[in-house]
Amino acid sequence: MSFEIKDEFYLEGKPFKVISGSIHYFRVVPEYWRDRLEKLRLLGCNTVETYVAWNKHEPNEGEYDFSGGNDLRRFIQIAQEVGLYVILRPAPYICAEWEFGGLPYWLLQDPKMKLRFSYGPFMEKIQRYFDQLLPQVTDLQITHGGPILMMQVENEYGSYANDKKYLRQMAQLMRDKGVVVPLVTSDGPWHDMLDNGTIPDIALPTINCGSDIKKWFDVLRKFHGTKKPLMVMEFWIGWFDAWGDEHHHTTSVEAAAKELRDILAEGSVNIYMFHGGTNFGFTSGANYYEKLAPDVTSYDYDALLTEWGDITPKYQAFQEIIAQYTELPEFALSTKIVKKAYGKLQAKDRVSLFSTLDKLAEPVKSPYPLSMEELNQATGYVYYKSAIGAPRHIEDFRLISCMDRANIFVNESLLMTQYDQEIGVSQKIELTAESNELGILVENMGRVNYSVKMNHQHKGIKDGVIVNGAYRADWEMYSLPMDNLEQVDFSGDYLSGQPSFTRFELEVDEVGDTFIELTGWGKGFVTVNGFNLGRFWEVGPQKRLYLPGPLLKSGKNEIIVFESDGKVGESITFFDQPDLG
């Protein structure tokens, strides 16, 4: 088969309007991939688009994973089985409100690293990654009988830089590794972004926007002429939520529907997002403009399908419009999904982090604090501790180059919490015990995924700790990626006010989707049978965590809640309805 880009898109020589929706395979449990893809097909879409998250597939340099929830190949094959074509966006950078925009943390171990430039070591690492990634998908291109129609070169590059040498190197690398389908770029249509981020002789420019489509299509038409198709690669129909936002973001169904009509009247579309899914574990990213804005666990996005896969009024409105351009398929959904309210669970066990610290990590000793990257750690927490001597008044206490949030303890008692711009502000401390130990629990809240701050995303403590005007030496550090909670020793002591692990047991007769509420708890994350669901935080707006049924099993299930701020409840509650705030 063939897919070509001329004055229009052509499939097998016939004009083809791309009507696509975004689903990120890495934000959906694989047991639900088929359900979400079937609902996309029933909407009337002919194509699914997905990013590829580099840091999911190469979490540590040279270690690759394309299994389970990372089985990109299987996701693409299911799409084809459902009757969908695929737009693949395998750029090293994806943004996507995802930890570090999909870039792996270990890139920052090179102190000279230049991200997203034609910097030799960066290009070498991409090449090694593509050596593993592209063989997973090149035989799934449409020219080989697969569903992949197009692939993207980089992502929104025009909002980052204008290194055309880099873009051309990326495109050539893809060609050298067996990519034969047409290439595209996608950028905002304002400022210099189209000029900066496109290589029109190699890849079709497309645009990303959520409103004023007619205006932006005019801009795109003037940019690349009238002999190329118009496409919105990301038609933003909702928005994402950050911790501390007043409420969950929603958008007007009517306004979004109007913009969809305008797009399809002149060109092709990829709906961003058709289904947002979930930032499981510590995968949520952050933005940074005036202040840090880390994203919540839900990536509902006010999409056509909810985070938990329900059809929305926006879905129905879009389906009516799409029906004017194509015949809607009819078939029964193959996945049975139920929602369950399992009720309130009482805590079984609780232990302070400090009582089980040695079971979770081997301490690393150093004269100075080491960053997460220096500790070969991607996400989670690091606990730093150091003896700071006799009772006295400390006039000047500061953390230098520390991100993102620090709970500061003296003798394992919480003294203060510093977050974002509070970090680095000088504080006064009174030490009253005969001898004193300083402890600092630092959390990575999500590496920034967009704009200039991406170059400065070292987590933990990078420079040091000032005590009375001087850097403090002699540290022990505990890396806490929190991926080994089976090692937690619940027979240890619990002291009120300390970070802690709390264990629950959930007996299940019928497995179903459910939503966990942690009323009275402060900040932390939840694991279910060893799977990290993601963060919770009392600041909201998200009030409940989505727990997909496939993560549960009939019989006994173990729930572990880590809480960092010393604010815990004695119970958690499972509802059959969400609360995104």
Residue 253 contacts residue 503 (beta carbons within 8 Å)? no
Return the pLDDT at 226. 87
> Any bridge partners for residue 544, and if so which?
517
Return the pLDDT at 455. 87
- What is the strand order of the sheet 470-471 is part of? 427-431, 392-403, 460-467, 470-471
- Taken as a whole, the chain contains a residue count of 581
Return the pLDDT at 300. 98
> Any bridge partners for residue 218, and if so which?
none
Token look-up 């009247």 returns 265
Return the pLDDT at 289. 94
Verdict on whether the full-model pTM lies above 0.85: yes
Query: Which parts of the chain sit beneath pLDDT 50?
Result: none
> Any bridge partners for residue 19, and if so which?
269
Q: Which of 97, 234, 373, 563 is catalytic?
A: 234
CA distance 229 to 160: 25
Residue 298 contacts residue 548 (beta carbons within 8 Å)? no
Token look-up 């910097």 returns 119
* φ, ψ at 374 (rounded to 5°): -70, -25
CA distance 67 to 113: 29
Q: Is 234 a known active-site residue?
A: yes
* Best CA proximity match to 256, nearest among 268, 272, 267: 272
Residue 339 contacts residue 567 (beta carbons within 8 Å)? no
Q: Which of 97, 154, 156, 259 is catalytic?
A: 156
Q: How many CA atoms lie within 13 A of 40 on its CB side?
A: 35
Q: Is 49 a known active-site residue?
A: no
